[in-house]
Amino acid sequence: MEDDAPVIYGLEFQARALTAQTAETESIRFLVGTQSLKYDNQIHIVDFDDENNIINKNVLLHQVGEIWHLSASPADKSVLTTCYSKTSDSKVVTCAAIWRMPKELESGNHESPDDSSSNPQTLELLCHLDNTAHGNMACVLWEPMGDGKRLISLADNHLQLWDLQESSSKAVISSSATLEGKGQLKLTSGRWSPHHNCTQVATANDTAIRGWDIRSMSQIYCIENAHGQLVRDLDFNPNKQYYLASCGDDCKVKFWDVRNINEPVKSLEDHSHWVWSVRYNNSHDQLVLTGSSDSRVILSNMVSISSEPFGHLVDEDDLSDQEDNHQDKRKEPLQDSIIATYEEHEDSVYAVEWSSADPWLFASLSYDGRLVINRVPRALKYQILL
Amino acid sequence: MSAVTDPDPDCPGSDPARKRRAHGMLKLYYGINEEGKPGEKCDPLDPCDINGARFEPEVYLNKLRKDSSLAELMDQETGMVKQIRSLDSDMQTLVYENYNKFISATDTIRKMKNDFKKMEDEMDCLAANMAAITEFSARISGTLQGQHQQITKLSGVHTLLRKLQFLFELPSRLNQCVAMEAFPQAVTYYTKARSVLHQYQNMPSFQGIQNDCQNIMAQLAQKLREKFSDGVSSSSELSECVELLLRLDEPAEELCDKFLSHAQCRLEEELAGLEAELGAGPHQQTLPTASSSSTDILEFIDKGCNNFVSSLCLVIASYQELFITSVPGMSVSTRLQDGELASRDVPRMASGKLVEFVDGLCGRYFSVVEQRIREEKGVGDNSLLVRALDRFHRRLQAVSKVLPGSGVPARGTEIVVGAARGRVQQYLAGLKSFYLDSLTDVRQALSAPRLPGKEAPSLAEVLGGLSSAVLTQVKSVLAYMHLFTAKDVSFASKAYFKGEFCSQAVREGLVVGFIQFICQSSQQFCESVGERGAPSTPPSLLLLLSRLCLDYESSTISYILTLADEQFLGQDQSPLTPVSVLCAQAREVAQRLLNHYVKLQGLIVSQMLRKSVETRDWINTIEPAMCAMKRVVEDTTAIGVQVGLLYEEGVRKAQSSDSSKRTFSVYSSRQQPRYAPSYTPSLSDALVCRPQRSMDTNLLSNIQKLFSERIDIFSTVEFNKVSVLTGIIKISLKTLLECVRLRSFGRFGLQQIQVDCHYLQLYLWRFVSDENVVHSLLDEIVGSAAHRCLDPAPMEQSVIEVICERG
């Protein structure tokens, strides 16, 4: 069973920010934000034509500064937020803003990819998330599956909940929480849980993971020393409400049940350097994707702690060419394993994302501006589906 | 008749022929017809045969006349005359000879006739006498018959009377015996009379006697019982009592019970003594001063054996004699009264009771012994224990001789086996704690503040001390365990000690268990990650343990196992853990420890680097005047020294000999074709024509990376100094790279990075196996910093060199 070769797309600039266009469920589309101190930064809208295996891109100028974080509205395809740094008075400040992309681009433009790259269009600024009082923005999180009206920003040691008003042109802080403690606490990343009516958020600062209830803006749990070193990223299991994955500088990926924070449920150590990004597949939560600065992307099959722990039973008379596979499956319980290690990158991989349209497809972005689109191996896909 | 007819005197056969003829004549005379022996050709019926029976003179004469000439006739005639003459003389001789015989025979017959007549008369006389005697005798016996019957009767009455007298005297005699305490005599008397009394009990007088006797005997039995239950009496007295009571048909079961309960009392006293001692033992041990006075286990077991086990054997022996072996006789006597069924079950019942009794007591005894053995916790010399167990086991063999079917010896062996197992466990625990204690000592030695003037022990010395201490301990434990299988120990020949003990308990349980424990406990140091940069384990300990495990892998494990296998030649077929598995395990642990060491040291250096990068304001920094990376180089050098104490140097990739002279320009110019975005040239590219060239440089860098080896940052290291340091340096530099990429730089920030990288380049190359790794990482750092620089104006190479040389 031949798997399609990965599709590689190169950006001219270095890049760290990657997101899927969350509201888009028809076509496969990723947004990539570049990092350049000297030139106008860009947001590349990368469309992937699954049938023809072709990439179409559109470039939007993002002139305010280099992009550290990107996230797309879950409700409106054209709305996105960026966290960007700008230099003023020989100081670097990181801000966040909400943008709208031009109408004709929001659902992709397959006709004239060449023209659009030469004539980049500009983003329309909807509003700034004013953070002058709170420090550098680390990331902005949209309410999952929400109506695109609420988002959370992490700035230094502050957690702020914003309400968007007047069709996103005005952002008001509705509540906020501050992380207190000795030393300079800095929230590095966060994730908004899709469970519990979207009332919980998890954040990472240094080696700790904290859970917050955004109704009261109070901390509900704290996993001290979740990782030996800095925690880089988090993700919630989309199907199991208490399960959380985290990754960090100790090269480990850990899976937590937040009801019992003393021990991770599972810990993987497959990468040989810091793990920068971890993502659960949106539909099949046994598929976990991780990207690391060892330039590798690893797709793992975490059956034992997924919501489909036993997989699906396969009919005996089904698919004779997969007989071997199935027999193995039937014999022993499914084992957690690495499905594949993708080595198309040559520089540190800082972001990995699943497509919002095709659950079997994902993109990874390395610092040298290389975006690689890959698919889950077909054998595994059928094994999960059938 | 040719001979006769042949008158030739010259004929040689003439003389025998004559004899024959004379003989034939005698035959004729006696009427014997000699048949079949006639003349040769001639017919016996030939009438011409002169000797034949049918001789007819007429025919003979006629024939003779016809056939013969005259001369012949003449000859014939003379021959005939001669023959006749000789025949006559023969006849005369015969008659003469026989005549005397006839005369004497006639005389004899005549004499006999006379003698017989006389004898006949005497015989007649005898017959007459005999008849008379018979008549007399018949008459006498007829008269005597009546009196004889009377006499027989009388003598019967006499014996009966004597018996009766005995019976009548019996009560008084019995009384006398009882008074004299001659119990056996009394019992003998009674048993003699008992059956008679029983038979005639329907007669009033006998009944009286019987009642009297029974009363007396009841008293006697009572006395015996009293004596029996009286604790003072000796066991021989006891057995006598029991024997008597048995003969008195006391119910055997009750007696068994009593006997046993009595014995039990005494045995329990002894057990209680043992228990008291056991109870006293630990109390005394709690007092440090009195600890020496508590009895050791050998003494204790000795006491148990001498008192309890030997009395038990005695009891068993006497019991068996009384109730089991002597029972057939008893059953004969009781058969009359109780019937066969009841008596037949006696031995079985008795032995059943005995087994129960012995089991019960031994159970208690064993629990006491087990408790005592359990108190033997010392991990030192166990020769006393082995000797004690040996004695214990030996004495129980005696029990098994007395009581073959008993499960007691088996239980005893079980206890010995259990004790041996317990010892193995204790020794294992002892070894473990010894090891952990040594580790703690090592830790303290490593982390102790260095006293001025006093040289701290080097890692190698500490390692040597640790491994030799552990090895000595293992050896001594093996020696202790070996005592269990010594030839002179009675239980060493048991199957358990020959097989399972050697292979499973000692080899697998103790030796392999300990080695695995070392591996596991070492491995735990890898798992307890030093959270938040504060390592719980000193890195040098990791290094030391790693070396220890490696030494184990290379030699110690096989040495210890060979030692164990030689000392304990088990005959067990159960699978053993092969040396290779343990070695692989040890090697794996060594590897993990070393990897962990690298990670930990790398982490320490990286933390330092990260702090320095994160806390500095790179945009507004001042012009670089000195290098900020001294600490890194110093720490790395220190680590190098540390590792060098335990691990060999390792192989370094062949490089130009002049590496130290390699300058900054070297790795910009030299590296340039290899890695395009490296800093100087690509920097200018980035400055001037980035939009046009960026794709090219990216492409170029990607192509370059395709050909250069991917650097695994946290990768497995080899067991040598160079590899370890390479790992640490890789981790540190990669951290520096990632940190640099997260910051923005001003002009002087970039220059500072340049200076730092050059400094690192100058000093780090010597530690690593492949300096290209350092070069490419440093290139990337400088390149990244240049990319992240707001105002990229690189420093002159010469200035950098000057600054670095200044230090």
Pick from B566, B419, B564: nearest CA to B496 = B419
Please compute the mean of the pLDDT values over residues B109-122 and round it to a whole number. Answer: 86
The amino acid sitting at B537 is T
Of B691, B712, B744, the CB nearest to A37: B744
Interface probe for B, chosen from A85, A136, A294, A341 (most Cβ of B below 10 Å), is A294
Mean pLDDT, all residues of chain A: 83
Contact assignment for B532 to A207 by CB distance below 8 Å:
yes
- Residues on chain B touching A367 (C-beta within 8 angstroms): 741
Residue from B733, B736, B741 whose CB has the most chain A CBs within 10 Å, to mutate: B741
Angstrom distances, CA of residue B804 to CA of B610, B629, B636, B784, B801: 21, 10, 18, 21, 5
Q: What is the pLDDT of residue B12?
A: 45
Work out the pLDDT band at A297, boundaries 50, 70, 90. very high
Q: Considering only residues 73 to 92 of chain A, which have any Cβ-Cβ distance to chain B shorter than 8 Å?
A: 85, 87, 90-92
pLDDT, tens digit, 9 for 90 and up, residues B216-260: 777 777 777 777 666 556 666 777 777 777 776 666 677 777 777
Q: What is the pLDDT of residues A222-259, one digit of tens each?
A: 988 888 888 999 999 998 888 999 998 888 899 999 89
Task: Give me the half-sphere count of Cα atoms (radius 13 Å) on the Cβ side of residue B457.
Answer: 17
- Cβ-Cβ contacts under 8 Å, B620 against chain A: 90
Strand arrangement, sheet containing A121-122: A14-20, A28-35, A41-49, A54-62, A121-122
Q: Is a pLDDT exceeding 70 seen at residue A320? A: no
* Mutation to test the B interface, candidates A272, A341, A366, most B Cβ within 10 Å: A272
**Please, are residues B420 and B492 in contact by the beta-carbon 8 Å criterion?**
no
Q: What residue in B sits closest to A41 (Cα-Cα)?
A: B691
Of A10, A14, A250, the CB nearest to B529: A250
Chain B nearest C-alpha distance from A249 (Å) = 9
Q: A343 at the B interface (CB within 8 A)? A: yes
Looking at residues A64-87, what average pLDDT do you find? 88
What would the mean pLDDT of B518-535 be, rounded to a whole number?
A: 65
Contacts of B788 in chain A (CB under 8 A): 37
Instruction: Count Cβ–Cβ pairs < 8 Å, chain A vs chain B.
Output: 70
- Shortest Cα–Cα distance, B702 to chain A (Å): 7
Rg of chain B over Cα atoms, rounded to whole angstroms, equals: 66
CA B246 – CA B385 distance, rounded (Å):
45
Q: Tell which residue, B475, B575, B474, has the closest CA to residue B517.
A: B474
- Within 13 Å of residue B505, how many CA atoms lie on the same side as its CB? 26
Contact: B531, A370; criterion CB under 8 Å: no
The pLDDT confidence band at residue B17, using thresholds 50, 70 and 90, is: low
> How many alpha carbons lie under 13 Å from residue B82 in its C-beta half-sphere?
12
A-chain residues near B533 (CB < 8 A) = 229
* pLDDT for B531 beyond 50: no
| Chain B: closest CA distance from residue A294 (Å) | 7
Q: Band the pLDDT of A385: cuts 50, 70, 90.
A: confident
Please state the rounded mean pLDDT for residues A309-327. 47
Q: From chain A, pick out residues whose CB is under 8 angstroms from the CB of B530.
A: 228
Selecting from B532, B706, B790 the residue whose C-beta is nearest the C-beta of A225 gives: B532
B746/A90 touch (CB, cutoff 8 Å), yes or no: yes
Nearest chain A residue to B686 by CA distance is A38
Binding-face residues of A in 258-277 toward B, CB within 8 A? 272-274
pLDDT of residue A330: 47
Q: Which carries the bigger pLDDT value, residue B241 or residue B89?
A: B89
Contact B619 A343 (CB under 8 A): no
Shortest CB distance from A12 goes to which of B533, B619, B695?
Answer: B695
- Average pLDDT, integer, range B303-309: 77
For residue A219, is pLDDT > 70? yes
* pLDDT digit string, tens, across residues B364-405: 888 887 777 777 766 666 777 787 778 787 777 777 777 776
Q: Is the Cβ of A346 closer than 8 Å to some Cβ of chain B?
A: yes
Are residues A272 and B788, on separate chains, in Cβ contact within 8 Å? Answer: no
Q: Do A229 and B686 touch (CB under 8 A)?
A: no
Q: What's the pLDDT at B279?
A: 67
- For chain B, the average pLDDT equals 74
Residue holding tokens 């003598």? B155
Whether residue B309 is predicted with pLDDT greater than 70 in this model: the reply is yes
CA nearest B332: which of B321, B344, B318, B347?
Answer: B344
B318's tokens: 């006497």
> pLDDT digit string (tens) for A254-295?
999 989 888 889 888 888 888 999 999 988 888 999 999 888
Q: Is the pLDDT of residue B72 over 80?
A: yes
Strand, helix or coil for residue B262: helix
Map residue A171 onto helix, strand or coil.
strand
Shortest distance, CA A368 to any CA of chain B (angstroms): 7
DSSP A46-59: EEEETTTTEEEEEE
- pLDDT computed for residue B721 by the predictor: 84
Instruction: Give tens-digit pLDDT for B752-790.
Output: 888 888 888 888 888 887 778 888 888 888 888 888 888
Checking if the pLDDT of A153 tops 80, the result is yes
Chain B: residue nearest A272 by CA? B714
Q: Which has the closest alpha carbon to B52: B793, B60, B700? A: B60
**Residue B509 and residue B143: Cα distance in Å, rounded?**
107
Query: Chain A residue closest to B727 (CA)?
Result: A272
Facing residue for A293 by CB, picked from B695, B702, B738: B738
**Shortest Cα distance, chain A CAs vs residue B720, angstroms:** 20
Q: Per the structure block, which two tokens stand in for A259?
A: 């009801």
Are A346 and B701 a contacting pair at CB < 8 A?
yes
Q: Is the pLDDT of residue B623 over 60?
A: yes
Burial class (CB in 10 A: 0-12, 13-18, 19+), A254: buried
DSSP H or E stretch at residue B753: helix B747-764
Residues 354-373 on A with a CB inside 8 Å of B are: 367-370
Residue-level pLDDT at A236: 92
Sort strands A91-100 and A121-122 into parallel, antiparallel or unpaired.
Answer: unpaired
> Cβ–Cβ of B744/A92 closer than 8 Å?
yes
- Minimal Cβ distance to B738: which of A13, A38, A348: A348
Residues of chain B with C-beta less than 8 angstroms from the C-beta of A229: 533, 603
Higher pLDDT, B29 or A152: A152
pLDDT over 70 (residue B570): no
In B, minimum Cα distance to A38 occurs at: B790
**What's the pLDDT tens digit per position in B164-185?**
888 777 777 777 777 777 777 7
The label of the residue with tokens 């230090």 reads B807
A207:B790 CB<8 A: no
Give the rounded distance of the alpha carbon of B557 from its chain centre: 28
Tell me the nearest-neighbour CA distance from B789 into chain A, angstroms. Answer: 7
Q: Are A314 and A340 in contact (CB under 8 A)?
A: no
Taking the Cβ of residue A150 and every Cβ of chain B, the question of whether any pair is shorter than 8 Å is answered with no
pLDDT digits (tens, 9 = 90+) for B342-367: 455 667 777 777 777 777 878 888 88
Q: How confident is the model at residue A321 (pLDDT cuts 50, 70, 90)?
A: very low
Mean pLDDT of A186-212: 89
Q: Which of A117, A293, A365 to mutate to test the interface with B (most CBs of B within 10 A)?
A: A293
pLDDT digits (tens, 9 = 90+) for B728-759: 888 888 888 888 888 888 888 888 888 888 88
Q: Which residues of B touch A87 (CB under 8 A)?
A: 619, 744, 790
User: pLDDT grade, residue B28 (50/70/90)?
Assistant: low
| pLDDT on residue B132 | 92
Show residues of chain A in contact with B688, CB under 8 Å: none
- pLDDT of residue B534 exceeding 50: no
CA distance B168 to B213: 10
**Any alpha helices (H) in B667-714, and if so which ranges?**
679-707
Structure-model confidence comparison of residues B625 and A16, the more confident one: A16
- Rounded to 5°, angle at Cα A179 from A173 and A185: 120
Q: What band does A316 get if pLDDT is binned at 50, 70 and 90?
A: very low
Residues 6+ apart with CB under 8 A from B602: B714, B727, B728, B729, B730, B731, B732, B735
Q: pLDDT digits over B193-216, tens only? A: 777 777 777 777 777 777 777 787
Q: Least CB-CB distance to B741: which of A37, A85, A367?
A: A367
From B687, B712, B787, residue closest to A294, measured CB to CB: B712
Residue (of B606, B664, B613, B593) closest to B635 by Cα position = B606
pLDDT at residue B289 above 50?
no
Q: How many CB atoms lie within 10 A of CB A329?
A: 17
Residue B698 to residue A12, Cβ atoms within 8 A:
yes
The arithmetic mean of pLDDT across residues B11-38, rounded, is 54
Chain A residues close to B706, C-beta within 8 Å: 346
**How much of chain B exceeds pLDDT 90, in percent?**
4
Does the distance separating the beta carbons of A272 and B744 come in below 8 Å? no
Instruction: Tell me whether residues B790 and A37 touch, CB distance under 8 A.
Output: yes
The yes-or-no verdict on residue B681 having pLDDT over 60 is no
